[in-house]
Amino acid sequence: MPSALERLQALLGEPEEAWGWPRREVWEASEQHLGVTLPADYKAFMDVYGPGTLDGYLHLDRPTGLMTPAELEDFWSLEAWRDARRGCEDLYPFPFHPDPGGLIRWGHDEHSSEYYFLASDPDPGNWEIVVGSECAEWYRTSGTFTDFLMRCFDGLDRAPFMDRAWPGGDASYEPFDM
């Protein structure tokens, strides 16, 4: 049986501008900065497709090259969210990285919802996906990055505040202009 990553690649087809090779140095620098190992399927997907947009709706992020420590901090920082959470845990029920078990952002959508890994397990393969809306609604689901995306395409898993028109009938991935 094909993995969720293989199914997703079959659905999306070959990228127009394939990144084509693992960015080991980029991931190592990011993981050293974060102090955690990122999920393997996220890195594998992003190494093939690069940063871009699924069906013009879900924007997927990753560093695009080697970065200085300040650039890594800017890319991965959730300090504003950490500040907002202080004293408002009822609005923000999850900690934000680098707090232990905190959320690590990997994307956002056209309606300003944010997509995160919940880094609460030592094994990144067991991290859950959390989606937060701009109205402080939260959705939490198990499964890997590619499991979650495939369940969205299969119509089996989605936050109630996600756009019901997404995903459309023809799945596509558009890389960001770099």
Tell me the pLDDT tens digit for each residue of 35-86. Answer: 999 999 999 999 888 888 998 899 998 887 778 888 888 889 888 888 888 8
Tell me the pLDDT tens digit for each residue of 97-109. Answer: 999 999 999 999 9
- The answer, yes or no, to whether residue 20 has pLDDT greater than 60, is no
Cα 63 to Cα 15, 28, 53, 68, 90, distances in angstroms: 18, 11, 15, 11, 31
Domain that holds residue 82: 4-162
Residue 80 within a domain? yes
Q: Mean pLDDT lowest for which of 3-12, 131-140, 143-152, 168-177?
A: 168-177
pLDDT tier at 178 (50, 70, 90 boundaries)? low
Residue 29 within a domain? yes
Residue 135 within a domain? yes
Which pLDDT score is estimated for 131? 96
Residue 138 within a domain? yes
Number of domains in the chain: 1
Supply the CATH number for residue 24's domain. Answer: 3.40.1580.10
Average pLDDT estimate for 131-150 = 93
167 prior amide bond cis, ω within 30: yes
- The answer, yes or no, to whether residue 126 has pLDDT greater than 70, is yes
Q: Are 39 and 4 in contact (CB under 8 A)?
A: no
- The answer, yes or no, to whether residue 21 has pLDDT greater than 70, is no
Q: At 118, is the secondary structure helix, strand, or coil?
A: strand
